Amino acid sequence: MKLEGSSFLGIRVSALVEIACFFIILTLIGFISGETNLYSVSPHPYWILIIFISAQYGTLAGLLSAIIATILYFSGPLPFQNITQEWHAYFFSLGKLPMLWIVTAFLLGELRMKHIRERDRLKDIANKARERESKLAESYQALKKIKERLEMRIASETQTTLMVITAFKELENQGKEGAIKGASELTKILVAPEKFSIYLLNPTNELKKVFTNGWNHAEKYSETFDPNSLLYQEIISKKKVISILSADSEVLGSEGVLAAPLVNPTSKHVVGMIKIEQIPFQRLTTSTIESLSKIGEWVGKAYEQ
């Protein structure tokens, strides 16, 4: 059991233990000497405890020790009143010492309580300062993490921009093969699918696969789409972007999750289709669908030119 921080009726338990031990020892000494209240001893031994307890623990503990000392003081044999001594002088001589104990306990106790209150005030200020310091440190770390994330984002966006510029150069400068290569690079950068493919219209007016990415040997996606297929009609005839999020998602069937025409936005001439077979679910957003539509327009225009 820890006595240091415990209290009873506002008085520290350690103070109660010290008061009890001190009075028990002095009472035993008094019994041994034949004078239980140690009246004849000067200065009286109770002064030691009253001063110590008041200066150490404050007003309540000091007054308690003074009251107990007064009770024990009057519990023993009192001196006889002299014949020449008036009764009020006799009672004053008896009560003088207990009154001094109580006044001393109160004054020293209040002085100690003032020190305790000042200590607690300074401790509270120090705790608040530590809390502010901790919050500032947390805020600094949070800002540092935000800065690092922004730096990484800027670096990533810069890298993405350079990659997009390179892909556009592929579209513009290297003919039809360059257009297909640029389309694949743009798709990887802006859409980031796990599996996708590019189809072009062949001389028989069918959509024929010319490029795949992420496919394995066991894939069962269609190699061609003839004019009678629903996907062909939506992509080539109606020039629509189809996704599993749209109302006509059944058009895709098991062929993928997203498809867009490769169409020149100026001439409205369609040259093929780009189809996404697999993509992380969290990336299948309106922004991704719009990006694929734009890629289809860029590639369609570059391929036709």
pLDDT in tens, 86-128: 777 777 777 788 899 999 999 998 998 898 889 889 999 999 9
> Which of helix, strand or coil describes residue 211?
strand
pLDDT (0 to 100) of residue 195: 92
Angle 87-173/175-190 helices, nearest 10 degrees? 170
CA end-to-end span of the chain: 90
Residues of the chain with CATH 3.30.450.40: 174-304
**What is the rounded distance in angstroms from the CA atom of residue 46 to the CA atom of residue 64?**
12
Segments of the chain with pLDDT less than 70: 1-5, 7-8, 34-37, 77-85, 151, 153-175, 247, 305
pLDDT (0 to 100) of residue 125: 93
> Which of helix, strand or coil describes residue 199?
strand
pLDDT (0 to 100) of residue 292: 85
Convert the pLDDT of each residue in 200-223 to its tens digit: 998 888 999 998 998 887 788 889
- Nearest CA among 210, 277, 205, 198 for reference residue 237: 205
pLDDT (0 to 100) of residue 140: 87
Burial class of residue 277, CB neighbours in 10 A (0-12, 13-18, 19+): buried
Run of H or E residues at 7: strand 7-8
**What is the rounded distance in angstroms from the CA atom of residue 213 to the CA atom of residue 242?**
20
pLDDT (0 to 100) of residue 142: 87
Question: Under CATH, which number does the domain 174-304 receive?
Answer: 3.30.450.40
Cis? peptide before 43, omega within 30° of 0? yes
Run of H or E residues at 140: helix 87-173
